[in-house]
Structures are given as structure tokens and as C-alpha cells.
Amino acid sequence: MPGERVLVTGASGQLGAALTAALRRDLGGDAVVATDLRDPELPESLGDGPFERVDILSRDELRRIIERNRIDSVYHMAALKSAEAESRREAAWNVNVNGLYNVLDSMRSRPGAKLLFPSSIAAFGPAGGDPVSLYGVTKRTGEMLCGFFRDRFDLDTRALRLPGVLWPAFEIGGGGLTDFAAEIFHEANAHGRYESYLEARTELELIYLPDALDAMRALMDAPADRLRRSGAYAIRAFSASPESLADKIRETIPSFSLEVRVDEARQRMAQSLPTGVDDSAAREDWGFEPDYTLKRTATDMIERLVGKR
């Protein structure tokens, strides 16, 4: 919104950097304060604007930055990702839960303040039950914390359950559950083959980066009286498996080969997650409508990566 002062936590991360750049293009560089514990590897990826190093576990420092910059809205992107959360459990709880608490507590006394919490499809469990991964537990807990601050302190919090976000420029090899969707295109370009850590027909929900950015901003900009006060909004764009992506790649590289060496931990996690989630609330309340289908996403990935061979 014009005149809005925005803070992005976790701005040095891949999704945080892309969001920061998009916000700065529309709101102006000075209106968007980027923060992270570490400096961005590619500062230019954030666009022009202020950057402040801050540990979200330091509530006093975080509050000073928010007050000094007169922040109206926060996009809370700081989090440990799924694979790292499983191997660094205490750190994951501290960052994903305690860090969120600090941000919420720092914003609750600011009149008219808003906060967007990007949750995850990992907050779902088998048959819609409790999540099976610690990462999913932290995301479900984060949704509940947002609800608590909304109901107790009237802080305008908005939670969004994102699928795996796909983009050709994102780094790969980080052990994330949905990394296969980017890795397969990179490996097709570099080597003409890919060894999948998931069974070939295992499908997961995905969304292309432009649609993910549009969804976060549309939810944040929606009038509060149009939004539901319980839970988080789930969204979906398409589902894909290693096999379905391999089929798309073979349309350009007929010799591409897909091999499988299952990572049992990630396979169990993948099998616990739903496909075809109900996103009717997001479509009805704030007009979510993704532009990128599986076919369009694969075509764009191939043009950007495989087309450079």
C-alpha cells in the first residue's frame, strides 16, 4: 500500500530476497527494510534499500529496528528449512517458534500493524491430522501463535500455507523435501540424468515463484473484514512427481534418464503430505488464482535452464 513501511525478516534467503526485491520495485527501496542474521550473498538481488543485520532471537534489538523505522507491516520469512530443522531440532524450535514470537511481540503495540507468516504444506499431517516432521510442527505452532496474538492483542496476523516454491535461480542440494523439482532441471541441463531421492511417482504440491509472491502480497493487501479469523489459508498451484517432470524434460532432451535412490526419511515425509488441498477459502476471500500450471512452469524452467545447453 502507498506510504506503507515494511520489514522483511530472513531477507537473505532465496524466497525472502525475491520478495524484498518485488516489494521494493512497487513500494520504493526506502520503504522496505530488509533484515537477516547474515549479509546477503548477492546484495543486488534485494534491490536498492536499507539492510540491517539482526538476530530475531534478540527481541530488544528487533523492537528497536521496528520502532526506528516506523514499521507498519512485517513479512516474516526467517526460518530454518525442513531438512535443516530435522538435523538441528533445538535451533529449529528457537528460530521458527521463538523467533516468530519475538516478532509478534515486537509488533503487537503498533497501531494497525500487520504480519504475514508463511506457513507450509508441511503443517498438514496424514489425512489432515498432525504434522509428522519437526519442521511441520514448528509451522503449525507458528499458525497458532499468530492466532493467539490476533485474538489476545488484536494484531492483524495472516498465515499462508505455501507449497514447495520452485524457481530456476534457487540454490539446490540443500536437502529440502521439494528440492527434486528444481534439481531435476539443473541435472538435465548439466548431465542429462537425475537420481531422485523420492520414488518416481511420488507427487508433491508445488508453486512457481511468481505465483507465490503474488499470493503473499494479495493476502497481505486484502481488507481485514474479508478474511477468516481461524487457521491459515492453504493454496495450491499444481502437483508433480519426479516422473512427471522427467516426461516434460524428455520433450526437449529425449535421452534424459531418471534414476531412483530413495531417501527413506524424505520419502516418509513426502507420503505424509496431501495433494489436491482445498484452497477454496483463499480463492473466495482474496482472489487467489495461480497463473502457472505444471505445463507452463516446466516450459519456463526448460527455457531458462535446459535451453542454455
State percent of the chain over pLDDT 70: 97
Q: Is the pLDDT of residue 39 over 90?
A: no
Q: How far is CA 58 from CA 6, 41, 103, 217, 256, in A?
A: 19, 23, 10, 27, 49
pLDDT of 308 over the 60 cut: no
| Catalytic residue ranges | 135
Burial category of 123 from C-beta neighbours within 10 Å (exposed 0-12, middle 13-18, buried 19 and up): buried
- pLDDT value at residue 62: 96
pLDDT in tens, 253-293: 999 999 999 999 889 889 999 999 999 999 999 999 999 99
45 pLDDT higher than 90:
no
CA R_g for the chain: 19
**Domains of the chain with CATH codes:** 6-163 (3.40.50.720), 166-205+237-308 (3.90.25.10)
Mean pLDDT, rounded, of the chain: 92
pLDDT score recorded for residue 84: 82
Alpha-carbon distance of 106 to 138, in angstroms, equals 20
> Does pLDDT of 309 surpass 70?
no
Q: How far is CA 19 from CA 15, 98, 118, 220, 307, in A?
A: 6, 23, 12, 13, 26
